[in-house]
Structure 1
């Protein structure tokens, strides 16, 4: 299977630099362990509140002009939905987004606010319905992770980390479908070859960790993965992303629901960042998996900050259920 290259990531960076994605900074955490310096990569500061805008922008920019009139279709639990809707609007394209019925209301409303048509379906039907809409309309499918252009776009985060902290020793990346980790690992391993790339998953959606340990994809049901509060990390890796994970990610660790909830609070109160549970898993790993992680200069990617106000209030008031 063909993996993307760092050249693909560099090309994506050039392609999306004027397509609404923000170059986010690295934020040094004075409250972290001095023996393990920590920087946060706040992708929650993107215009749609998550890193997904990078992959969506690169994939949409690559659509031939002759195909753009038929619009784009995507399926997503929320952040990719907003990203495709936002970028499609910038390009003047019609966007239809298929979301599972357990998608947070905040993410559905934000997607509609960007002008997209939102189709809500049972969690097991989102890909089937999206493919049907593509066939009916002649639209272009923009998958959330299973596409080289999407992976390359997400990898631009790795380029920025390497440029801003070239002596980084560990990069912590959330893992769901694997597009983010695949792209970031591609860039980091090429530019900072001594750095470890560590994936982080919720234990309740730990299929990628189990798969990497087994050396082959291990199937979990959608219902199993839906148990975690981290709604953006409920997808399973594809053949394409798993091939990248096996080749370029050093390991994947898992964190508990209680640790994720506490990390949201830590980010809000110590780093002054609003992070959704999916974006907080890397901080949860840094705080709770010391024995499983390399020592040294660490970057934790805060992948998104889109969560309902009621959930944020609940977590700040009662971080553990």
Structure 2
């Protein structure tokens, strides 16, 4: 498992390339949820999500031979954007494989950054294709199954611990589990006693299924939230979550999209459903822990267009 020292080392390595995003109390969300809420606004990160941190950490750790050969990444959207843009900034050729369900805007951004983008029919197919490309000599920048990437994502937790006021419970979205693994490692070291809660959508339950099975297992994906749609957790992230996370909560796609609308209304931020899912999960946490909770929300990304959210809201009959 990674340590807070690993996270601190990556924080120093990537500092010149990423943004120290704002940590702000949210009066609107505090009133909405009925408990004090502090947000970590990773949607204001370079590339629009926390993924720039882990991608940059891994790219900077490559050998000269690996940099010359180029890199390959698999992504439901945000990781691909981050690898494409940060590789472009570092003059490294990148290939990004995404499922056809990935947001069209993510494909456009990755291509505009200079990456070669390949679309696969499914997320499972995307992971399989990346394995083939890796065998051809491209260096893999995995979205979550890499201790360097996990430590890079953990810099979110390091900053949150340094910048937030008192917190009792921190909620973090889960796709493959890289973000929550790094955040949990940092927060447990810097804020002992703070509970960490993971959040998934019901149609992308990689980590909750892993916890139920005692290890990573393949899952069927049906969520509209492609940025959380990992076909399975990894042993690395499972180990961190099983040891450091209080529980993993699941919510429906519909309430995740409603959460996106509520974040716009009450927090004045335009997030994606991967972050919107935190609000219905926060209500579950408050029901379980009772009075005195002080919540921290890692608002992980904002790479959803108004057209995307409008279409999802209409699909689910939301306001």
With the length of structure 1 as denominator, give the TM-score of the two structures: 0.92
Aligned residue in 2 for 1:14: 12
Please, what is the CA RMSD of the aligned residues? 1.9
Shift of 1:218: 4.2
Matched, 1:300 2:279: no
Aligned residue in 1 for 2:130: 130
Aligned residue in 2 for 1:194: 193
Task: Name segments (4+ residues, structure 1) moved above 4 Å.
Answer: 315-319
- The one-character-per-residue Cα deviations of 1:22-78 (angstroms, maximum 9, x if unpaired) are 111112111234662101111111121111000000001000123211111111111
Which of 270, 278, 282 aligns to 1:282? It is: 278
- Aligned CA distance change for structure 1 residues 318 and 290 (closer, same or farther; 3 Å): farther
Shift of 1:157: 0.3
- Aligned CA distance change for structure 1 residues 220 and 30 (closer, same or farther; 3 Å): same
Q: Distance in 1 between matches of 2:288 and 2:219?
A: 24
- Aligned CA distance change for structure 1 residues 168 and 289 (closer, same or farther; 3 Å): closer
Q: Distance in 2 between matches of 1:217 and 1:37?
A: 35
- Aligned CA distance change for structure 1 residues 317 and 268 (closer, same or farther; 3 Å): farther
Aligned residue in 2 for 1:311: 308
- Aligned CA distance change for structure 1 residues 293 and 64 (closer, same or farther; 3 Å): farther
State how many pairs are aligned.
313
Q: Distance in 2 between matches of 1:56 and 1:298?
A: 28
Q: Distance in 1 between matches of 2:265 and 2:162?
A: 28
Matched, 1:228 2:223: yes
With the length of structure 2 as denominator, give the TM-score of the two structures: 0.92
Which of 1, 22, 25 aligns to 1:25? It is: 22
Q: Distance in 2 between matches of 1:11 and 1:25?
A: 21
Shift of 1:316: 6.3
Aligned residue in 2 for 1:79: 78
Note if contact 1:166-1:192 (Cα within 8 Å) is conserved in structure 2.
no
Worse-matched range after superposition: 210-219 or 229-238: 210-219
Note if contact 1:262-1:319 (Cα within 8 Å) is conserved in structure 2.
no
- The one-character-per-residue Cα deviations of 1:70-105 (angstroms, maximum 9, x if unpaired) are 111111111000100111011111011111111110
Matched, 1:250 2:249: no
Matched, 1:270 2:266: yes
Q: Distance in 2 between matches of 1:149 and 1:241?
A: 12
- The one-character-per-residue Cα deviations of 1:247-267 (angstroms, maximum 9, x if unpaired) are 111111111222212111111
Q: Distance in 1 between matches of 2:165 and 2:190?
A: 8
Q: Distance in 1 between matches of 2:164 and 2:57?
A: 24
Aligned residue in 2 for 1:156: 155
Q: Distance in 2 between matches of 1:292 and 1:49?
A: 32
Aligned residue in 2 for 1:46: 45
Note if contact 2:206-2:218 (Cα within 8 Å) is conserved in structure 1.
yes
Q: Distance in 2 between matches of 1:67 and 1:206?
A: 33
SS in 2 for 1:31: helix
1:167-178 correspondence runs (5 A): 167-178=166-177
Note if contact 1:264-1:315 (Cα within 8 Å) is conserved in structure 2.
no
